[in-house]
Structure 1
Amino acid sequence: MRIAVAGGTGWIGSLVVREVRERGHAPVVLARSQGVDLLTGKGLGDALRGVSRVIDVSNIATLSLKRAAAFFETATPNLLEAGQRAGVEHHVTLSIVGCDRVPTGYYIAKHRQEQLVHDSPAPTTVLRATQFHEFAAQMLARTDAGPVKMVPRMRTQPIAAAEVAAALVALALGDARGSTPELAGPEVREMTDMVKQLREATGQRALVVPLRLPGAAGKAMAEGALLPAEDGPRGAITFDAWVAERAAAEAGTSSAA
């Protein structure tokens, strides 16, 4: 089966592509580096020829509502409409737990994307997932403030990105469900503590400073609006286990060097 992955060269997209291959199917990467532009539609029709499933993990790195909305409100309809013309049987979109409860620009735009998918006549499924374990590494890797890392106060139930990728592919291989139960990790954690734990495990010296974002969005994030609102599937990989594996990998890389 040919399964297209929109954003397949990105961080989560590359894991989805790998999962597709491991399940014995043929991934089709939809990305500008592969001659496909979701915003203009260039190359999209040709790329979807013979594709029966689409998994959309395309993304834009911004906190701006204007930029995020412009991306999702253009790319998502283009992908849905091209998929219908190509006879795609199931379109799966990755979204975020709590995007309808945290009024920041990016989350608002993701919620709009969900609405576009649900309003489409195409057979679709939206999977909401919590923040990935890898989000802590992204916070620690930020270089805009040098050795000081401002980490938002955020209660979350983090999950390994590889488990999200596996869930997306499993959903895509099934029938369209519209909405599906929210996917989260095995335990509730505070993002600041996660970043500190990863810093210590990997021997970094960054100063981690908790930051409560202002307004309703900051209050919502700090008080658990990003936690799943109902029972649903839960990942098995704890943050502790993920950190231990990452620290061991980094130590091995350093020893090899």
Structure 2
Amino acid sequence: MKIVVIGGTGLVGSQVVSNLEEHGHDAVAAAPQTGVNTLTGEGLAEVLEGAQAVVDLSNSPSFAEEDVTSFFRTSTKNLLDAEAEAGVQHHVILSIVGADGIDSGYMRAKLVQEDLVKASGSGWSILRSTQFLEFLASIADTAEADGVVHIAPVRFQPIASADVARFVARTAVGEPLNGTIEIAGPETFGFDEIVRTYLASKDDPREVRADPSATYFGAPLQDGELVPHGEAQLGEVSYEQWRKAQA
């Protein structure tokens, strides 16, 4: 089965490609550096020839709301149009748990992407994931002010990117869901608790302060927005397993 992975050279995409190849599929990593650009349409017709499924893991280089909305609207439309021409039967995207709740321009842009896929008229699957464990460092850096890391004391259920890649690959080779599933890590933490634990494991001396007014990449947070809203498929990699593997 030929599966084109848009963003196939990134953190999750490269692992998706590896997982698919290990199971005997023809997985093609597509990205600007491989001559495929979903914003301009360059290389799409060629790379989609003979493909049965497409996984879209692309992301905007700018997170400003206007930029990221334009990115997802343009790239998704170009990709869906090219897939229709090529006869691709399954379109898979990775979205975000909380996309319809967190007051963020990026989240609103992801909803635009989701809506375009749902309206495409072809087979589709949407996986909404909780935050990746790999982003704990950038979360801490973004939340720092005057040497103190301010984190909202809400529930947090991060997932290892390796688990995300397995879920994405498994979905891509299956029948289209024509629906949305949520995926998350196997453990739930206090958000400030796990950031504090992570920084301590890196011998990072910064104080982590539980702050109900702290934002999440600039967005206000309510408890429940960073964990699945209902039944979810859970990964296998625990925080400690992930941390040891990183070390």
Indicate the SS of the match to 2:5: strand
Query: 2-side partners of 1:134 and 1:236: how far apart?
Result: 15
On the 8 A contact 1:148/1:209 being kept in 2, the answer is no
Match of 1:32 in 2: 32
Match of 1:69 in 2: 69
Offset of 1:82 from its aligned partner? 0.7
Q: Which has the higher strand share?
A: 2
- Is it true that 1:163 corresponds to 2:158 in the alignment? no
User: C-alpha deviations, 1:123-169, integer Å up to 9, x for none?
Assistant: 111111111111213335x4997994745425321111111111111
On the 8 A contact 1:30/1:36 being kept in 2, the answer is yes
* Structure 1 gap ranges (5+): 250-257
Match of 1:195 in 2: 195
Match of 2:137 in 1: 137
Query: 1-side partners of 2:203 and 2:102: how far apart?
Result: 33
On the 8 A contact 1:136/1:191 being kept in 2, the answer is no
Match of 1:213 in 2: 215
Partner AA of 2:165 in structure 1: A
Indicate the SS of the match to 1:176: coil
User: Residues 203 and 185 from structure 1, CA distance in 2 versus in 1: closer, same or farther, beyond 3 angstroms?
Assistant: same
Partner AA of 1:195 in structure 2: V
User: Residues 235 and 179 from structure 1, CA distance in 2 versus in 1: closer, same or farther, beyond 3 angstroms?
Assistant: same
Query: 2-side partners of 1:28 and 1:147: how far apart?
Result: 45
Partner AA of 1:171 in structure 2: T
Query: 1-side partners of 2:83 and 2:180: how far apart?
Result: 21
* Structure 2 gap ranges (5+): none
- Is it true that 1:97 corresponds to 2:97 in the alignment? yes
Count of residue pairs brought into register by the alignment:
243
Offset of 1:116 from its aligned partner? 0.6
- Is it true that 1:223 corresponds to 2:207 in the alignment? no
Match of 1:21 in 2: 21
User: Residues 158 and 143 from structure 1, CA distance in 2 versus in 1: closer, same or farther, beyond 3 angstroms?
Assistant: closer
User: C-alpha deviations, 1:72-121, integer Å up to 9, x for none?
Assistant: 00011111111111111211011001100112110111111111110111
What is the alpha-carbon root mean square deviation over aligned residues? 2.4
Partner AA of 1:178 in structure 2: N
TM-score (norm 1): 0.86
Q: Which has the higher helix share?
A: 1
